[in-house]
Structure formats: C-alpha cells, structure tokens
C-alpha cells in the first residue's frame, strides 16, 4: 500500500513538474496543426500530506479503521491527503478549460460512487491510491453580450459571503449530501446523542455537474446555477439536484470590498433513508437568504459580516406513522454574525468573534416538521466540532460562540512567514439530544480550544501543525455509554502535522 502510494504520488509529481518546466520556457504552445489557436496552457500541481493523531473518543465516531465498538475504539495515527495535477488552458480569447486529475482526500459521494470514507494512506484502504478525475470545467465568455459567461462541467459555485472558502449554506463541491442530517431517523424525532456524533463517519465530497450562467456588469453580479446532478446515484429517487439564483452588489461606498448578496434555491432531495420517502412524492425544498460584508472605510482593518437562511417546502413523507403518511415540512433556520479586526501592526495581529446558529429538531414528533437546517456547508473553524476531514463535522442543531486571534512573525529571511492562530469555541446543541447511554437529555457539545501554526517556506510550500482539544462534552460522554461506563469520556483530542507543496 505505502509503496504503491509513493509510486502514484511520485508519478504525478514528476509529470507535473516536467510539464510545468516545459510550459515555463518562453516558447509558443505546440499543438496539432488544426488546434493552432490555443493561446496558453498552464500546468500546475499540488501535494497535501497530513499526519493525524486522533484520541479514541474521537475515532469512535469518525471514519476509523479500528474496530467500531463503543466505547472501545482505539486512538489512531493516519496519513491523509491528496496529490493532483491541473491543466488550465486558454483555447481562445473567449474559451478556456480546466482539467485536474489525482487522488482524493475523501471518497466522492457523486461521480464514481463508492463508500464514503477518508482515504487513509497506508491503512488498508486500496482506494487511497486511485487516480481519479478531480475537476473538469469549460468556460465560455462574452456569450451574446460582453457581460454574459457560462461555465459547464464539475461546478465550483458557492455562496461565500466573506470570500474565504467557508460557507454556511451553499458550497456543494466541498460538502456532503444535503440529506446527511435526516438520514438517521424520521426527521421529526429528537436525535439521540449517539446518532448526532455517528454522522461524523459519513464524510464525502460531492461532484456537482451542470452549468453556471454569470451576468456581471458594473457593481452587480448575477449567477444562475443549474446543477441537475449534485449526486448521481442510479435510480432517480436517489439523485440530488440544486437550482439556484444569486445576486451580488458591491457597496464600495461603505468601504472597498463591501458587498451584499441574496440567494434563492430549490433542492431536489435524494431518497433519505428507511424512515423517509422523498423519491416518489415530488419532494421539493426551498432555501432563501442572504448576507452582507462591510469593511468600513472609517475603521481600516475592521470587517463586519452576517448572513441568514430560511427553509420551507416539503422534505418528504414519513413512512413509519402507521397507515397514514405524514408530510414533513422544512422549517430550518441558520444564521451567523461576526467581526474581525486586523491591527495596523507589522506583526499582522488580528482578533475575531463569531456567533453561529443552526437549527435542529426538538422532541415534538407530532407536528410533521423537519426543523433541522439542511445545507451544503463548509464551515471548519473548529477542528473537532466543525471540520469534515479531521473532526465530527457537526453541521446542524448547534450554536457556537467563537473567539479567535492570530499573529504573523518574520522568521529567517522571510516576512510574516510564521502564522500562529488560536480559537476558543463554546458549543452546545440548540435542541437537547435524547439520552443514549445516560439518563438525561444533553445539550453540551463542549468547549473547544485549537491552536494552528503555519510556516511558509516559500510561496509554493508550507509546513503546518495544529492541536485541538474538546472538553466538557456531555453529548460525547453520553454517546459512549454515559458516566456509568469507565471508558466514556467528555473530552477528546487530536493533533496534526502537514506538508503542502504547490508546483
């Protein structure tokens, strides 16, 4: 396994560097005679390799290669990451294309199918070495008019208010199935503590296929998103689709970089599990919302942001209520507000605060509502509670107050090349979770403390490390059997060391 991994990664690296070296020569691109209009071809690559240690309390619920046995899982050491080669080609002034091949960090839930799992290099997962299609997209500019463009292929569209790659509602390329949080029950019942954390072993990345039409003029940008295949799972009732329209308007008069956005989406949901029927009942759920980012000119370095989303429509029908089926109505709500301030200081000191709310289901089983907010989210501020790759990825039924800060130090000949940041998250379940191993409903997800360090060796290579600890998690302790079980703990830890090389 390790030998084949090294072989695959080495082959990708050698190929990419050879192509990149050739491309950097000051020569015209050479193609077939009938393809001489090609303007530019850029070849690049990336290798990400992380060593990760997770305590046994965490591996009880995350994708694990030790025997799954609550609470007797083992602490684990794994190597995780991916290698990729990317080609960006300008085929003409108005046509460009992207294709990327390589290994995957997690098994895809869309194109290619297969089980959901982290690709743990060297741990017995043969899929860790498979070279797959990672990205494929073509862009057509100035269609009918200069302001109109179209992208088709594996879509990278997201509704990103802050522009930092973390989205509360819409990031289908870097998230899991939207049905993830209602696949463990009827959707109307209060989730028990075990199921709330057990979803952490269901990580995946989607490959949404379709098109995005963009109209951009002056301060306004409009996206029409047509993704008939977010998940293609065979039978139509197992597919997942997304159609959305968003609108962005730059409000630079408040400060350069300020903007406001609105979005409306309709979701076609996949078959949601044995307790829900979505495929034969014309299930349609809607999400509407928006966000604002303000960087006030009067206070340099300050960033204020907020976003809110509401869901309505029909999620499915309950099939476990006897002879009479019951409509399940979407009632999810999510919002976050926050601020970040970067001091005018050579060390790049910054501070931030954030409040996040994502609704969950209560214990009322009679109202036929699905109060959990269902989203393609990609929030990973907290390594244990929120991160999909390292932790539990709790993405519904929780609130969090997050206080963060950082500094950039100059080491050696570099300038601000050592980045250090820390965050404290006070987390709880919005609706109390039914007891699993204990006797009382629980809502304490716990207090998490993370510290991350990144050393930029150059613009193309960096070393990183992180440590995270979650304490006071009554939800975790209950899910492992409760306080009466000797091995059940209300805390867990992880640390990671990583290498990220771009070429």
Domain ranges, residue 279:
2-502
Check pLDDT > 70 for residue 442: yes
> Residue range 301-327: average pLDDT?
80
> Residue range 247-272: average pLDDT?
90
Give the separation between CA 491 and CA 384, rounded to whole angstroms: 11
Across 107-111, 120-124, 298-302, the highest mean pLDDT is recorded for 298-302
Q: What is the pLDDT of residues 351-364, one digit of tens each?
A: 999 999 999 887 65
More confident residue, 320 or 92: 92
More confident residue, 130 or 170: 170
- The DSSP output letter for 34 is G
Q: 60-71: b or e for each residue (b if 16 or more CB lie within 10 Å)?
A: bbbbbeeeeebb
What confidence tier does 109 reach under pLDDT thresholds 50, 70, 90?
Answer: very low
Give the separation between CA 4 and CA 129, rounded to whole angstroms: 7
Instruction: Output the pLDDT for position 232.
Output: 64
Residue 22 three-state SS = helix
Joined together, the tokens standing for residue 296 give 């006030």
Domain holding 279: CATH number?
2.40.160.100
More confident residue, 270 or 430: 430
Instruction: Output the pLDDT for position 282.
Output: 57
Q: Do residues 71 and 30 touch, judged by C-beta distance below 8 A? A: no
Instruction: Output the pLDDT for position 382.
Output: 97
Side-chain-facing half-sphere of 484: CA atoms under 13 Å: 6
Which residue bears the tokens 């997209």? Answer: 137
Give the separation between CA 111 and CA 422, rounded to whole angstroms: 36
Q: What is the pLDDT of residues 33-67, one digit of tens each?
A: 666 666 788 999 999 999 999 999 998 888 776 65
Q: What is the pTM of this model?
A: 0.87
Instruction: Output the pLDDT for position 495.
Output: 96
Check pLDDT > 60 for residue 281: no
Across 11-20, 21-30, 129-138, 398-407, the highest mean pLDDT is recorded for 398-407
Check pLDDT > 80 for residue 99: yes
- Length of the chain measured in residues: 503
More confident residue, 478 or 440: 478
Pairing of strands 326-330, 369-370: parallel
Query: What residues contact 336, with CB distance under 8 A and at least 6 apart?
Result: 168, 305, 306, 307, 354, 355, 356, 357
Side-chain-facing half-sphere of 287: CA atoms under 13 Å: 30
Domain count, the chain: 1
Residue 463 three-state SS = strand
Gyration radius of the chain's alpha carbons: 23
Check pLDDT > 50 for residue 480: yes
């Amino acid at each position: 396994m390790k030998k084949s991994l090294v072989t695959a990664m080495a082959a990708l690296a050698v190929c990419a560097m050879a192509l990149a070296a050739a491309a950097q020569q000051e020569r015209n691109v050479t193609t077939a005679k009938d393809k001489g209009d090609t303007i530019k071809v850029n070849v690049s690559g990336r290798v990400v390799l992380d060593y990760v240690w997770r305590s046994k309390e965490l591996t009880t619920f995350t994708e694990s290669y030790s025997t799954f046995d609550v609470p007797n899982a083992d602490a684990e050491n794994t190597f995780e990451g991916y290698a990729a080669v990317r080609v960006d080609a300008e085929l003409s002034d108005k046509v460009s294309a992207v294709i990327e091949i390589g290994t995957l960090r997690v098994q895809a839930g869309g194109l290619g199918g297969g089980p959901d799992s982290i690709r743990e290099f060297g741990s017995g997962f043969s899929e860790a070495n498979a070279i797959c299609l990672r990205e494929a997209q073509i862009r057509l500019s100035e269609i009918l008019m200069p302001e109109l463009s179209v992208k088709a292929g594996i879509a990278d569209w997201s509704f990103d208010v802050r522009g930092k790659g973390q989205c509360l509602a819409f990031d289908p390329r870097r998230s899991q199935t939207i049905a993830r949080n209602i696949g463990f029950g009827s959707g109307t019942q209060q989730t028990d503590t075990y199921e709330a954390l057990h979803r952490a072993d269901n990580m995946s990345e989607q490959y949404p296929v379709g098109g995005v039409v963009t109209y951009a003029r002056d301060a306004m940008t409009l996206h029409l998103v047509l993704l008939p295949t977010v998940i293609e799972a065979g039978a139509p009732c197992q597919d997942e689709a997304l159609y959305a329209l968003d609108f962005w308007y730059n409000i630079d008069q408040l400060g350069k970089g300020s903007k406001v956005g609105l979005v409306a989406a309709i979701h076609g949901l996949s078959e949601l599990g044995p307790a829900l029927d979505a495929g034969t009942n014309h299930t349609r759920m809607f999400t509407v919302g928006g966000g604002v980012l303000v960087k006030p000119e009067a206070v340099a370095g300050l960033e204020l942001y907020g976003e809110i989303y509401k869901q309505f429509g029909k999620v499915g029908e309950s099939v476990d209520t006897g002879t009479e089926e019951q409509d399940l109505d979407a009632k999810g709500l999510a919002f976050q507000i926050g601020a970040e301030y970067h001091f005018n200081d050579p060390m790049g000191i910054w501070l931030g605060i954030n409040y996040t709310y994502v609704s969950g289901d209560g214990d009322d089983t009679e109202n036929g509502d699905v109060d959990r907010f269902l989203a393609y989210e990609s929030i990973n501020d907290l390594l244990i509670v929120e991160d999909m790759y390292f932790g539990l990825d709790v993405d519904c039924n929780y609130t969090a107050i997050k206080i963060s800060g950082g500094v950039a130090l100059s080491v050696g000949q570099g300038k601000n090349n050592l980045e250090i940041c820390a965050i404290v998250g006070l987390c709880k379940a919005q609706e109390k979770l039914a007891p699993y191993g204990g006797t009382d409903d629980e809502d304490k997800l716990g207090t998490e403390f993370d510290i991350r360090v990144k050393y930029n060796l150059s613009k193309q290579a960096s070393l990183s490390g992180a440590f995270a600890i979650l304490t006071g998690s009554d939800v975790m302790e209950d899910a492992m059997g409760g306080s009466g079980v000797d091995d059940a703990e209300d805390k867990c830890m992880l640390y990671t060391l990583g290498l990220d090389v771009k070429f």
